[in-house]
Amino acid sequence: MEQTIDNVNTLIAAYIPDNAASKITDADRKFIHAHLSGTLIEHENLRLNGIPITVCNLFTGAVIETTPLIAALVRMVTDISYSEFGPNTLTRYGLTPGNALKKFDRARYLTQKLDSNVYMQILD
């Protein structure tokens, strides 16, 4: 799938649960578009190839099947926390050392807002 603004906006809209749609702000959409487009497209391509999208908690062993959007958010959070804000991770998500912690917190918050079960089982 070619990564275009329309494709990413369509994916964002498709994977925001109905019960969370009113909670998502334009700033949230901008954050997803700016920092998660590549990862979202990667997860969507896996889904299109019939591969279930799962996230896991390495400490508890909990595994949850989820959407490409939630998986992209969880991946960002875990990549940043495990790399300790390493340069490759910062580059992947379009972050700087000055904004990485703020964006990390925003990804956690968005996960909680969109899927509290994944947040509690995987990130909390």
C-alpha distance across the termini of the chain, in Å: 32
Residue 26's pLDDT is: 86
Tokens of 58: 């390495």
Q: Which residues of the chain register pLDDT less than 70?
A: 1-6
Domain locations in the chain as residue ranges: 25-123
Q: Could you give the C-alpha distances from 38 to 11, 22, 35, 44, 116, in angstroms and in order?
A: 12, 25, 8, 10, 24
Count the alpha carbons within 13 Å of 50 in the hemisphere toward its beta carbon.
Answer: 0
